[in-house]
């Protein structure tokens, strides 16, 4: 199958140092290894993403550079002349956390910085004397595909991927009773993610976060006062959990338990300690053919990460906010269909705050 090559070449392994138990809930391994301590959980998420970036840096700068990993499906969708009539038939079922407005603002800015870092884009922009903007981005030569803001998401739980539409319909039916419970889980259990950083590999670029561990809350307050107690079908009545002791990894663990409790097999591609939103994917190697181009690209990413750490992390009253509480504005989005690139259809969105 043509779509398997990028996945095989770009294995997404857990680099935190924790060995995941194949049986039972795979998210428990990291929580137990960290003794349920949010500081330790954040540290392992940090270890995973910094180690992975170091690995990818070495690949980009290696004298034996083998080239980028271009997704053949996305390439055909974006350039229909390659294979007229092509359709992505890989259907999936997921629960997504949708970023709130202030995170989308940050993501859009990061995308503009990535465009400036791409050599051919710099040349194109300079030639046309135009600054990057949403309108300009839509008219740029398609060498770097950008995830549209309205499609951005962070995968909290993947139930199944690369199935037929009928197979996914069967899973939706089996999970129907718990979908309201799972999508509204963040209305009771507030999990924060902080410290955005660009994470990258040979196929894509993302902005990644780590679970909060005592940092000052910087996100905008809820539209209405948060209730002290919440009652929702299938959820225990109790006080809203706003302590960082309940991390994003706990939320992923609980989502897994709720779904697995129906007897449905959970076929996630990976359960690594990562909380990320895809920003861009490569469509060609035009900007990364020479060692000099790749050096500039890596350096630009490192410069962006330095800017994030100095100007966004833990910064009050800054232009950008680098923290969000999962469930802000809307709960989890249960979605199915051909959604590898943010598409598909929504089955239900949970209650936000």
For the chain, the domain total comes to 1
Q: How confident is the model at residue 162 (pLDDT cuts 50, 70, 90)?
A: very high
Find the domain containing 92 and state its range: 29-349
Rg (CA), the chain: 20
The reported pLDDT for the residue numbered 233 is 38
Whether the pLDDT of residue 154 is over 60: the answer is yes
Q: Which residue has the higher pLDDT, 46 or 130?
A: 46
Whether residue 172 is contained in a domain is answered as: yes
The reported pLDDT for the residue numbered 120 is 56
Whether the pLDDT of residue 223 is over 50: the answer is yes
Neighbouring-strand partners of residue 206:
199, 278
Looking up residue 139, the CATH number of its domain turns out to be: 3.90.1140.10
Whether residue 181 is contained in a domain is answered as: yes
| Mean pLDDT value of segment 30-48 | 96
Sheet holding 324-325, edge to edge: 144-146, 275-282, 204-211, 192-200, 324-325
The reported pLDDT for the residue numbered 119 is 56
The reported pLDDT for the residue numbered 353 is 85
Q: Please write the tens of the pLDDT for every residue from 266-289.
A: 998 888 899 999 999 999 998 899
| Mean pLDDT value of segment 65-79 | 94
Whether residue 60 is contained in a domain is answered as: yes
Whether residue 208 is contained in a domain is answered as: yes
| Mean pLDDT value of segment 61-75 | 95
Whether residue 53 is contained in a domain is answered as: yes
Q: Which of 8-22, 92-106, 308-322, 323-337 bottoms out in mean pLDDT, i.e. has the lowest?
A: 8-22
Q: How confident is the model at residue 49 (pLDDT cuts 50, 70, 90)?
A: very high
19 backbone dihedrals φ, ψ, rounded to 5°: -90, 120
| Mean pLDDT value of segment 238-260 | 86
C-alpha span between 286 and 294 (Å, rounded): 11
The reported pLDDT for the residue numbered 224 is 57
Q: Which of 49-58, 142-151, 334-343 bottoms out in mean pLDDT, i.e. has the lowest?
A: 142-151
| Mean pLDDT value of segment 246-274 | 93
Whether residue 6 is contained in a domain is answered as: no
Q: Which residue has the higher pLDDT, 130 or 96?
A: 96
Whether the pLDDT of residue 299 is over 70: the answer is yes
C-alpha span between 282 and 50 (Å, rounded): 21
Whether residue 4 is contained in a domain is answered as: no
The reported pLDDT for the residue numbered 188 is 87
| Mean pLDDT value of segment 221-243 | 51
Whether residue 93 is contained in a domain is answered as: yes
The reported pLDDT for the residue numbered 271 is 86
Distances (CA, A) of 166 to 77, 172, 262, 342: 23, 10, 19, 20
Q: How confident is the model at residue 182 (pLDDT cuts 50, 70, 90)?
A: very high
């Amino acid at each position: 199958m043509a779509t398997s090559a990028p996945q095989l070449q770009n294995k997404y392994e857990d680099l935190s140092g924790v060995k995941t138990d194949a049986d039972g809930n795979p998210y428990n391994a990291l929580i137990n290894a960290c003794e349920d301590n949010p500081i330790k959980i954040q540290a392992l998420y940090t270890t995973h993403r910094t180690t992975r970036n170091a690995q990818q840096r070495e690949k980009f700068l290696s004298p034996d550079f083998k080239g980028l990993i271009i997704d053949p499906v996305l390439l055909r969708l974006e350039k229909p002349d390659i294979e007229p009539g092509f359709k992505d038939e890989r259907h999936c079922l997921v629960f997504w956390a949708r970023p709130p407005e202030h995170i989308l603002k940050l993501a859009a800015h990061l995308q503009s910085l990535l465009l400036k870092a791409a050599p051919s884009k710099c040349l194109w922009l300079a030639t046309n004397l135009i600054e990057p903007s949403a309108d300009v981005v839509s008219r740029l030569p398609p060498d770097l595909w950008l995830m549209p803001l309205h499609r951005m998401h962070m995968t909290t739980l993947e139930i199944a991927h690369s199935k037929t539409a009928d197979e996914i319909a069967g899973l939706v039916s089996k999970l129907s009773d718990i979908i309201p419970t799972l999508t509204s889980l963040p209305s009771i259990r507030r999990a924060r993610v902080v410290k955005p950083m660009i994470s990258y590999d040979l196929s894509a670029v993302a902005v990644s976060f780590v679970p909060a561990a005592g940092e000052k809350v910087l996100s905008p307050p809820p539209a209405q006062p948060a209730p002290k107690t919440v009652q929702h079908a299938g959820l225990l009545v109790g006080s809203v959990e706003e302590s960082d002791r309940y991390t994003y990894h706990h939320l992923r663990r609980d989502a897994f338990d709720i779904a697995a409790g129906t007897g449905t097999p959970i076929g996630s591609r990976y359960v690594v300690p990562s909380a990320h939103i895809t920003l861009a994917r490569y469509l060609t190697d035009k900007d990364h053919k020479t060692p000099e181009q790749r050096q500039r690209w890596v350096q630009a990413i490192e410069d962006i990460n330095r800017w994030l750490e100095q100007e966004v992390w833990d910064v009050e009253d800054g232009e950008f906010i680098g923290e969000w509480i999962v469930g802000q504005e809307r709960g989890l989005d249960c979605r199915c269909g051909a959604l590898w690139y943010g598409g598909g259809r929504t089955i239900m969105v949970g209650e936000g705050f």
